[in-house]
Amino acid sequence: MQSAQAKHALIDAGRWLSEQGWVPATGGNFSIKTEQGFVVTASGHDKGALQPEHFLEFNIEGTHTGGTGKPSAETELHLALYALSARTHCILHTHSVAATVLSRLTTEHSLNIQGYEMQKALHGFTSHLETLAIPVFDNDQDIPALARRVAEYHAHTPVRHGVLIRGHGLYAMGADISETRRHIEALEFLFNCELTRRQLEKNA
């Protein structure tokens, strides 16, 4: 994908994600692999009103090659997630209420979900009986250290659809922007179902 095409695809995704309420304020960041490397949103912009000048370009090694905005501190985490899987070509980072709250309620290293038909919307799932395990990592302002922890986790349990950062949000991954958008929509549905189920059980 060319850089210009990638930017327009992310502008459209940003508008859609903003309409869902999943990237409040200037939260979130998006990226796509291109023929030249990566296109990533610059820091501090409303993701529902992105323009082509709101993106930065990096080569495959992560060196800044284009764009004049301020790089997000989380750009390095995007690059680390791409390094984990050759299949991943798009990452969309969001800040929904359900994902953020569930990430804090979950004390384990993964959020395990089972029994929902919507799991089959995720790449590789064919049954609601399978367990979906989304890794959960403690938030850290030291992004290189956080990226290393994600890579260490992946070494024994592959990161497939995304990761949750505790009290922060979701990084969804996919083979292209269409699959990543589908993964976000399915995961957010599952997060809402799981959060509602826990609330009902607590109040029963």
Within 13 Å, how many C-alpha atoms sit on residue 27's CB side?
A: 17
Residue 123 is labelled as binding a ligand:
no
Domains defined along the chain, listed by start: 3-203 (3.40.225.10)
* Whole-number pLDDT of residue 69: 86
pLDDT digits (tens, 9 = 90+) for 45-64: 999 999 999 999 999 888 88
Pairing of strands 162-165, 64-66: unpaired
* Whole-number pLDDT of residue 70: 86
Contacts of 144 (CB under 8 A, 6+ apart): 76
Helix, strand, coil percent content, the chain, rounded in steps of 5: 40, 20, 35
Residue 183 is labelled as binding a ligand:
no
Q: How far apart are CA 196 and CA 58, in angstroms?
A: 40
Q: Are 119 and 152 in contact (CB under 8 A)?
A: no
pLDDT < 70 regions, the chain? none
Torsion of CA 200, 128, 190, 142, to 10 degrees: 120
* Whole-number pLDDT of residue 147: 92
- Lookup result for tokens 């959960």: 136
Q: What is the pTM of this model?
A: 0.94
